[in-house]
Amino acid sequence: MTIEEDVVWFLLNNNVLDIAKHILQEKKDPRLTEITVGIIGNMCCVPGVRRRVNCTPGLPSVLADLLNYPDPLTLIQLMRLLKTCLVQLEGSPEDTVPTQVSV
């Protein structure tokens, strides 16, 4: 469902990335963390979303911090998110990764 473009833009317009950042910072429940990363991964399939993820203050560093998270299911979703972003590097020019990423 979060791969449908209309749904993705609705979520973005309602600050879902800020909510996700807060959830990921807390890391209280591994399943909630896994689901949140999975939703972000699904959303990144829509052109333009990767830039929004990158431009959300603190979110890239929170995602990077999850590389040390001990839950394997969360790590699977995180790797899927990273793979989605890397595969799309060859995609549309408006969604290219900036040369310098602030973390």
pLDDT digits (tens, 9 = 90+) for 69-94: 999 999 999 999 999 888 766 655 54
Q: What is the pLDDT of residues 28-75, one digit of tens each?
A: 999 999 999 999 999 999 989 999 999 999 999 999 999 999 999 999
Q: Where are the domains of the chain?
A: 5-95
- Who wins on pLDDT, 31 or 3? 31
Residues 6 or more apart whose Cβ sits within 8 Å of residue 16: 39, 43
Q: Which two tokens stand for residue 14?
A: 């309602």
Long-range contacts, stretch 95-102, CB < 8 angstroms, 24+ apart? 95/47, 95/48, 95/50, 95/51, 97/50, 97/54, 98/54, 101/54, 101/60, 102/60
Q: Please give the pLDDT value at position 20.
A: 97
